[in-house]
Amino acid sequence: MRVFNTLTRQKEEFKTVQEGKAGIYVCGPTVYDFIHIGNARPMIVFDTLRRYLEYKGLEVNYVSNFTDVDDKIIKRANEMGVDSTEISEKYIAECKKDMEALNVRPATTHPQATKEIPDMIKMIEDLIEMGHAYEKNGTVYFRVRSFKDYGKLSHKNIDDLESGHRDEKHALKVSGESEKEDPLDFVLWKPKKEGEPFWQSPWGEGRPGWHLECSVMSKKYIGGTLDIHAGGEDLIFPHHENEIAQSEAANGTTFANYWMHNGFLKIDNVKMSKSLGNFFTVRDICKKYDPQVLRFFMLTAQYRSPLNFSDDLMEAAKTGLLRITNSAKSLKDIINSNVSDKAVYDEEAAKAVDCYVKKFEDAMDDDLNTADAISAIFELVKFANTKAKEGINSDYAKNLYDTLNKLADVLGLKCEVKEEILDADILALIEERTAAKKNKDFARADAIRDELLSKGIILKDTREGVKWQRA
């Protein structure tokens, strides 16, 4: 597989540090509100990357943080008159609900900044000891000039950056406000202000800077050199540049081999963001569309391309997804009707299907080109629909159905057809389960509960008897 590496600005062959394993760190959201669909883009595309690497046989350690201490969270908490953990815990839970709806699998670990403070303090102490950081009046700064590779990710020259700050530097010097040695230096630890959460540290009560958490948590939960570090392109500078400086200065090893950044989700060609107010939450969009449609829409573009959100494109995504699920449904009907006297899945059919699978893999191998991968799925759908019309036996249909499902699953799209079950059949099974329980045949009773669950039926044992509902 080839991936575009922001560090080298080219597509490179993806090779993992350890054979058969990949460590991926993705910067997660700051949790002070419901996530918007721009935040969902990195979640969906990098979840798809993870799924594809697993499809190729790699064991993936996927780590994505929640930034749960930050100015925006504190501001929100103060406005609401509650503790900032109440805000962050609420929106972490809400974010997880959105992720589940979008079929974004939970990360191997979802670390939270506030739970990793001792390790952050340790990294700051190491950086101070090595001369890469210094303390002034309770604030600790990273000494940017002490890290010679600063700017390598964003391809910025440190002297150009410096001159961009010249006026600011002059003004601060005149007013005596600057305590930094250099305007480029950034904060590792900041002293507490009234009404802010704080932790004890060797530099007084305070809290860590934002960039530090990702350096510390990626080291703790992945360790060594990361295979891939990912996030939205707005994070390249300064966030990721600063992460590299902190980590490489402290650890003396390469921080991450590949840097992948998704392009922006836009509205009318402007980046969707909370601060501009031009955003929709995932929750809002999912009132109007199935979350699968939103996921499909996000994957209709290659992840580095900007993507404009519009009702028209969502409608097109809805139609596209329906084409896939309808095809899956008609294949399932053929499987269920046990057709045996129609065309068999012969070598020629297998060859045609392999060809679509190869097209899909070639697209995904080319820097996760999900747009072309979807086209390959559409070709398979067209083939399947034609064959279904001509007449195929159940085994043939099963081969097509399984392949379609396998490829859709790599994209995190659900096209598996749930078995329909009639109310009368549900009631009969519930009766059988009650009888099994009476006879102490708990294995059968559990099996019936599981069977119903697989068909989307949830049972509830109540004092008035068994109640059921469709999921």
In the complex, the residues that contact ligand AMP under the rule CB under 6 A are 27, 29-30, 38-39, 41-42, 231-232, 234-235, 262, 264-265, 271-273
Residue 40's identity, in one-letter code, is A
Binder of residue 400, out of Zn ion, ligand AMP, none (CB less than 5 to 8 A by kind): none
Residues 6+ apart with CB under 8 A from 433: 444, 445, 448, 449, 459, 466
Give residues 199-238 in contact with Zn ion (rule: CB under 5 A): 214
Q: Minimum distance between the CB of residue 83 and ligand AMP, rounded to whole angstroms?
A: 20
Q: What are the CA-CA distances from residue 117 to residues 83, 110, 233 (Å)? A: 18, 15, 27
Our CB check for Zn ion shows the closer of 214 and 410 to be: 214
State which H helix or E strand residue 395 sits in.
helix 394-410
Binder of residue 51, out of Zn ion, ligand AMP, none (CB less than 5 to 8 A by kind): none
Is position 43 an interface residue for Zn ion (rule: CB under 5 A)?
Answer: no
Our CB check for ligand AMP shows the closer of 30 and 247 to be: 30
Site of tokens 């509650």: 82
Q: Minimum distance between the CB of residue 40 and ligand AMP, rounded to whole angstroms?
A: 8
Binder of residue 214, out of ligand AMP, Zn ion, none (CB less than 5 to 8 A by kind): Zn ion
Binder of residue 264, out of ligand AMP, Zn ion, none (CB less than 5 to 8 A by kind): ligand AMP
Binder of residue 38, out of Zn ion, ligand AMP, none (CB less than 5 to 8 A by kind): ligand AMP
Our CB check for Zn ion shows the closer of 161 and 214 to be: 214
Site of tokens 């249909």: 397
Q: Minimum distance between the CB of residue 27 and ligand AMP, rounded to whole angstroms?
A: 5
Burial class from Cβ neighbours inside 10 Å (0-12, 13-18, 19+) for residue 428 reads exposed
C-alpha–C-alpha distance, residues 279 and 271, integer Å:
9
Q: Minimum distance between the CB of residue 319 and ligand AMP, rounded to whole angstroms?
A: 24
What secondary structure letter does DSSP report for 135? E
The SS3 call for residue 207 is strand
Q: What count of other Cβ atoms lies within 10 Å of the Cβ of residue 381? A: 23
Site of tokens 């580095």: 304
Q: Are the beta carbons of 62 and 107 closer than 8 angstroms?
A: yes
Our CB check for ligand AMP shows the closer of 30 and 302 to be: 30
Q: Minimum distance between the CB of residue 265 and ligand AMP, rounded to whole angstroms?
A: 4
Is position 27 an interface residue for Zn ion (rule: CB under 5 A)?
Answer: yes
Our CB check for ligand AMP shows the closer of 146 and 246 to be: 246
Beta-sheet strands, E only, within 97-225 = 133-136, 139-142, 186-191, 206-208
Our CB check for Zn ion shows the closer of 27 and 321 to be: 27
Q: Minimum distance between the CB of residue 233 and ligand AMP, rounded to whole angstroms?
A: 7
Binder of residue 88, out of Zn ion, ligand AMP, none (CB less than 5 to 8 A by kind): none
| DSSP-assigned letters across all residues of 13-77 | E---SSTTEEEEEE---B-SSPPBHHHHHHHHHHHHHHHHHHHTT-EEEEEE-BB-SSHHHHHHH
Which phi and psi (to 5°) does residue 152 adopt? -70, -25
The SS3 call for residue 341 is coil
Binder of residue 111, out of Zn ion, ligand AMP, none (CB less than 5 to 8 A by kind): none
Q: Minimum distance between the CB of residue 161 and Zn ion, rounded to whole angstroms?
A: 20
Our CB check for ligand AMP shows the closer of 262 and 327 to be: 262
Q: Minimum distance between the CB of residue 242 and Zn ion, rounded to whole angstroms?
A: 9
Our CB check for ligand AMP shows the closer of 46 and 147 to be: 46
Q: Minimum distance between the CB of residue 113 and Zn ion, rounded to whole angstroms?
A: 10
C-alpha–C-alpha distance, residues 316 and 296, integer Å:
10
Our CB check for Zn ion shows the closer of 77 and 214 to be: 214
Q: Are the beta carbons of 230 and 201 closer than 8 angstroms?
A: no
Binder of residue 39, out of ligand AMP, Zn ion, none (CB less than 5 to 8 A by kind): ligand AMP
Binder of residue 451, out of ligand AMP, Zn ion, none (CB less than 5 to 8 A by kind): none
List of residues contacting Zn ion (CB under 5 A): 27, 214
